Amino acid sequence: MPLDAKDTRRRRSSSLVYTEPPESLEQLSDQSALPNLNAEWVNAKGAWIIHFVLIITGKILFDIMPGVSQELSWTLTNISYTAGSYLMFHYVRGVPFDFNSGAYDNLNMWEQIDNGDQYTPAKKFLMFVPIALFLVSTHYTHYDLTYFIINTMATIAVVVPKLPSAHRIRFSIFSPPPDDE
């Protein structure tokens, strides 16, 4: 009895946690064929400075808004940076360029940086920035419990996906697993 096309497809898991399968030999070959322009900029000169520029610009932007206290300004700066960092490094998968035959389609930018190696200088820096911003924002909110909880949750949301134990792990609430066809 022949199998129907629907029967041969893998069903979606109802689990909230999804582990991305390893790349095939073809994908690994495609990845090594060309440089990954999507992740190379992280190690370029001046790339680390942009994080401080964005944080300072965000802080100034929130400071000039009427009715925003210093405590709220620091918390909004922390939330904005961590949300942008999560979106850029952990949510979006693949490469926006169409030159590598989809070799990185299953990887987010964090997994693409330094070919997935952990504890490289770039990854240490990108781990340090949200933690340092958390410490600064907690200090300038005068350790208020409400602001502390908000800043802690925002920082945890962006630091946990950077940990080696979270490598290639997806949470389906934020990023649903792909349908296999």
Which residue bears the tokens 């134990």? Answer: 165
pLDDT in tens, the chain (181 residues): 455 544 444 455 556 776 777 777 777 777 777 778 788 889 888 899 999 999 999 999 999 999 999 999 999 999 999 999 999 999 888 888 776 667 788 888 999 898 888 999 999 999 999 999 999 999 999 999 999 999 999 999 999 999 998 888 877 665 545 554 4
Number of helices followed by number of strands (H, E) in the chain: 8, 2
User: Quick one: how far is CA 155 from the chain centroid?
Assistant: 12
Q: Which residues contact 171 (CB under 8 A, 6 or more apart)?
A: 16, 17, 18
Hey, what's the torsion of the CAs at 32, 38, 43, 46, to 10 degrees? 160
